[in-house]
Amino acid sequence: MPYAVETVSSFLESDKPVFGICLGHQILAQVCGLKTYKMHNGHRGLNHPVKNLITGLSEITSQNHGFAVDDMSLPPEIEITHRHLSDNTVEGLRHKTLPIFSIQHHPEASPGPHDARHSFGKFKQLMEDFHA
């Protein structure tokens, strides 16, 4: 989806906060110079365990994707924030200096666990800081 990568690239030039979810995670990864690849078996359904590398806590998540981010192409300004505990794929990224982050799973999905909803609070805080 080159048009989506191009559109999101223009957002990054403005220093506005950006939060990517699922496909948005993959698009942000490509914008930041990472590669993505088609998974042999995608992640589908509820109860996928993901480790938040920042807090050290595990989150039970909803997932629906067949592509993943290649962590071998990680540029120095990007940090991995989440890993899938079943296959160690990248589940979250953040930019070290810009207000940009993304997650591969669906924090908005319900019914089911709400472990990842804190991501919206993080984005809200970035938006408030941007407008302050």
- Mind listing the pLDDT tens digit of every residue in the chain (132 residues)? 788 888 888 877 777 888 898 899 999 999 999 999 999 999 998 889 999 999 999 988 889 999 999 999 899 999 999 999 999 999 999 999 999 999 998 876 655 556 666 777 777 788 788 876
Q: Model's pTM, two decimal places? A: 0.82
66, containing H or E segment: strand 58-70
Q: Per the structure block, which two tokens stand in for 117?
A: 């909803």
Going from the C-alpha of 80 to that of each of 46, 70, 108, 110, the distances in angstroms are 22, 11, 21, 25
Q: Which residues are catalytic?
A: 22, 106, 108
